[in-house]
Structure 1
Amino acid sequence: MSKKVAFYTLGCKLNFSETSTIARSFTGEGFKRVDFSEHADIYVINTCSVTENADKRFKTIVKQAQNTNPEAFVAAVGCYAQLKPEELAAVDGVDLVLGATEKFKITDYLNDLTKNDRGEVHSCEIEDADFYVGSYAIGERTRAFLKVQDGCDYKCTYCTIPLARGISRSDTLENVLKNAAEISAQGIKEIVLTGVNIGDYGKGEFGNKRHEHTFLDLVKALDRVEGIHRLRISSIEPNLLKNETIDFVSQSNSFVPHFHIPLQSGSDHILKLMRRRYLSNLYVDRVNRIKQTMPHACIGVDVIVGFPGETDEHFLETYHFLNELDISYLHVFTYSERDNTVAAEMENVVPKSVRSKRSKMLRGLSAKKRRAFYETQIGTKRTVLFEGENKSGYIHGFTENYIKVKYPWNPELINTLHEVELTEIDEDGLVRIQFLPAKILV
């Protein structure tokens, strides 16, 4: 009887895409994949270290696996496993810890699956993480996360990602297109491009050798892949989002008018302390360029509150900057100290209660921004891709410009694209729709 394996992923879309690749290596060896809540012989936890929360959640997830099967073999992989392998190995129940390069060869490390008294660690020096492993994940049968790049050469003072993932390196254009074609062949309608710093695509194809393609080349080539109806750029640094890319997306067959652009702070003083590679005026310029070419575009923003040295004045500068900017929603992160970062040693630490209050204010602003953006779209005609879950008698979907819609549950709509009119915002903040006659697209 084949052994069973289950996976749990913490963190970003990139982690989800890599979990899927690791899972395929297990099924290739004859393992049967089951849900994490089910009885399995091996539990693999793909970890994240971006926030304090992810560290704490790891122990809870290990306990969950042990409660389901106390005899199961538990392996930890991913960013936290690379940064603090010994710490994870010491967690009760963990048998194996694999770092950045080892995680893709996990089946090579599984011998007899006997529980260990202490986790066995195989973790490279991060300088050795200089090769590239392509991957993609398919979720809910409607969209896939396609990894095109890994690692980062930036030295932001708060970030551990370069320590966890190594130098910036990219997949070959040929391999990205091959993966995109494989996704398309499975009937997936939408691909989300993911990576650590995807605008840096073209750096270090293998071992930091210069690449022959740029991010714009990648976007143009993917736009020609047959069978993919939607392509979405997940997150791109403002200094790497060029006019040519914005202009191409505005005329594209498949790329949707949705950008997620990290800001982190609206105060130039704080941006300098963070060692970001732009100032607020460049960010304004990027938002204006998008809105000039695509007035209906959705723009999401990452922002960090409570960075060391952020005074009330600096925070209000960020708040007013975002309030006046034509953006659609925020992802708000409360700053948390990470070991081995410059920011962890900085003075003028912001009290946690103040960080929490600022986070709450920006979350409120995000809700207001999203509502205002949705209101501008009522009465317009959009295309919706429906997802696969029945949520309280409704099916949900997203328009090309990332408006979340609802419609009474109908399983025949799953993974189909329809042209609709956005009619009103419901009390839960989602948008109700009306189908346009004979406008079923695919």
Structure 2
Amino acid sequence: MENRKKVAFYTLGCKLNFSETSTIARNLQDEGFDRVDFEEVADMYVINTCSVTENADKQFKQVVRKAMKLNDKAFVAAVGCYAQLKPEELAAVDGVDLVLGATEKFKLADYINDLSKNDFGEVHSCEIAEADFYVGSYSIGDRTRAFLKVQDGCDYKCTYCTIPLARGISRSDELENVLKNASEISKQNIKEIVLTGVNIGDYGKGEFGNKKHEHTFLELVQELDKVEGIERLRISSIEPNLLKNETIEFVSKSRTFVPHFHIPLQSGSNDILKLMKRRYQREVYTERVNKIREVMPHACIGVDVIVGFPGETDEHFLETYHFLNDMDISYLHVFTYSERDNTEAAAMEGVVPGNVRAKRSKMMRGLSVKKRRAFYESQLGTNRTVLFESENKEGYIHGFTENYVKVKTPWNPELVNTLHDINLTKIDEDGSVRMEFLNVEV
């Protein structure tokens, strides 16, 4: 046992990356590696990269430097989206030994010989058209929730996005396999599963570019709701044009699916949506939100929005701002547009100056704070169920209600990874909500 090597992982980007990191880690453990925290000295460091924001690119170099500080003789491998898009760039970073693209990342063990450092980063990356097979993944690092991958890739051609270039065509896991993975997760005493993918509403397309949907997203949701041992299921981001009324209605009556939706809008201006090549207009978005509110008035609705897209005038921005201000949504994820190589938007006219992008982003973030506060206020006095997390933060334990209200109560280790019925009492200075337990002595 002494000669087992230690491997540490660092994940940049989305929930999907976290699920895939976990799968790669389990594969390496089967090959004789012991997983340790990234803060520890390891024989190999694996960095799962992201290509969505400029910041993720910069972060990669910082993470490599951190690994080299911990052990300058360690083997460093870069995998994931940025590794697929810019393999030579990553390979040139000082300290990087191996770069694996979209199809190779799950075969990491096959590319490791003796963990001795390379003079130059070795690159194995495919033409993205070859990424036509599906590898199922789920993460179980966090004791309270798991990210379950159900779909990968995207067939949409949004003009700002590199994901199709980094992950390939839309393809899905087989329904039986998703249910098997969900069942495995439920046996690990994990209370919540978050469904994840690149475009999960497109669930059902098979491998090898088969565009026929074997199953629909609604059928996936209906079958997962029957899996024994799962307390909560949460849908991560889903496109407004793919979130059907039948799905919303099913979630409202479901045993396990929680009333929380995250629906990308990107812009509240139809002119800008057209430039972005989004597959809906703002009216569709309004319909979706109204439908959710009709059947689940207490649901949490999160929104992605991009500010500073080429061609976005002050009038377009204010159109988006007022559209969201008037809508009954709960919070925003605000992205400041950044140019990405090989995207249509990078060559568009009407470039918005950086200082204007920053100003718009600040305004949108302010709106998000206001919206979240209003949503939390609307929930005060209601009874909810909270799932407590595992961290002791300054003497408090935090958790989330089914409709994604963040609550806090004095630290008690016995509460970790447990569900409790509570009443929401008041909003604390830090923005989270105080609570009282119902019918239980804690």
Match of 1:256 in 2: 258
Q: Is the 8 A contact 1:148 1:195 kept in 2?
A: yes
> What do the CA deviations read for 1:193-216 (whole angstroms, capped 9, x no partner)?
000000000012454252421100
Question: 1:12-411, aligned counterparts within 5 Å?
Answer: 12-208=14-210, 210-411=212-413
CA–CA distance in 1 between the matches of 2:215 and 2:319?
Answer: 38
Question: SS at 1:240's partner residue?
Answer: coil
Q: Alpha-carbon deviation of 1:112?
A: 1.3
Percent identity for Structure 1 against Structure 2: 81
Q: Is the 8 A contact 2:170 2:209 kept in 1?
A: no
> What do the CA deviations read for 1:330-372 (whole angstroms, capped 9, x no partner)?
0000000000000000011000100000000000000000000
1:9 aligned onto 2:25: no
CA–CA distance in 2 between the matches of 1:189 and 1:428?
Answer: 26
Q: Is the 8 A contact 1:235 1:262 kept in 2?
A: yes
CA–CA distance in 2 between the matches of 1:144 and 1:205?
Answer: 24
> What do the CA deviations read for 1:11-57 (whole angstroms, capped 9, x no partner)?
00000000000000010011010011110000000000100000011
Q: TM-score, normalised by structure 2?
A: 0.99
CA–CA distance in 2 between the matches of 1:222 and 1:246?
Answer: 15
Question: SS at 1:385's partner residue?
Answer: strand
Partner letter of residue 204 of structure 1?
G
Partner letter of residue 387 of structure 1?
E
Partner letter of residue 135 of structure 1?
S
CA–CA distance in 2 between the matches of 1:392 and 1:139?
Answer: 23
CA–CA distance in 1 between the matches of 2:400 and 2:419?
Answer: 10
CA–CA distance in 1 between the matches of 2:330 and 2:441?
Answer: 27
Partner letter of residue 424 of structure 1?
K
Partner letter of residue 129 of structure 2?
E
CA–CA distance in 2 between the matches of 1:140 and 1:319?
Answer: 36
Q: Aligned pair in 2 of structure 1 residues 181, 217: CA closer, same or farther (>3 Å)?
A: same
Q: Alpha-carbon deviation of 1:114?
A: 1.3
CA–CA distance in 2 between the matches of 1:334 and 1:211?
Answer: 34
Query: Which residues of structure 2 form unaligned runs of 5+?
Result: none
Q: TM-score, normalised by structure 1?
A: 0.99
Q: Alpha-carbon deviation of 1:2?
A: 0.7
Q: Alpha-carbon deviation of 1:140?
A: 2.5
Partner letter of residue 21 of structure 2?
T
CA–CA distance in 2 between the matches of 1:171 and 1:185?
Answer: 20
CA–CA distance in 1 between the matches of 2:141 and 2:92?
Answer: 32
Partner letter of residue 142 of structure 1?
T
Partner letter of residue 88 of structure 1?
L
Q: Alpha-carbon deviation of 1:329?
A: 0.1
Partner letter of residue 231 of structure 1?
L
Q: Is the 8 A contact 1:169 1:204 kept in 2?
A: yes
Q: Is the 8 A contact 2:8 2:35 kept in 1?
A: yes
CA–CA distance in 2 between the matches of 1:210 and 1:72?
Answer: 45
Partner letter of residue 72 of structure 1?
A
CA–CA distance in 2 between the matches of 1:378 and 1:18?
Answer: 37
Partner letter of residue 134 of structure 1?
G
> What do the CA deviations read for 1:401-420 (whole angstroms, capped 9, x no partner)?
00000000000000000000
Partner letter of residue 206 of structure 2?
G
Partner letter of residue 145 of structure 1?
F
CA–CA distance in 1 between the matches of 2:353 and 2:233?
Answer: 41
> What do the CA deviations read for 1:117-175 (whole angstroms, capped 9, x no partner)?
11000000000000000000124200000000000000000000000000000000000
CA–CA distance in 2 between the matches of 1:303 and 1:57?
Answer: 22
Question: SS at 1:437's partner residue?
Answer: coil
Q: Alpha-carbon deviation of 1:221?
A: 0.2
Q: Is the 8 A contact 1:205 1:211 kept in 2?
A: no
1:427 aligned onto 2:436: no
CA–CA distance in 2 between the matches of 1:348 and 1:292?
Answer: 39
Partner letter of residue 84 of structure 1?
K
Partner letter of residue 437 of structure 2?
F
CA–CA distance in 1 between the matches of 2:130 and 2:169?
Answer: 9
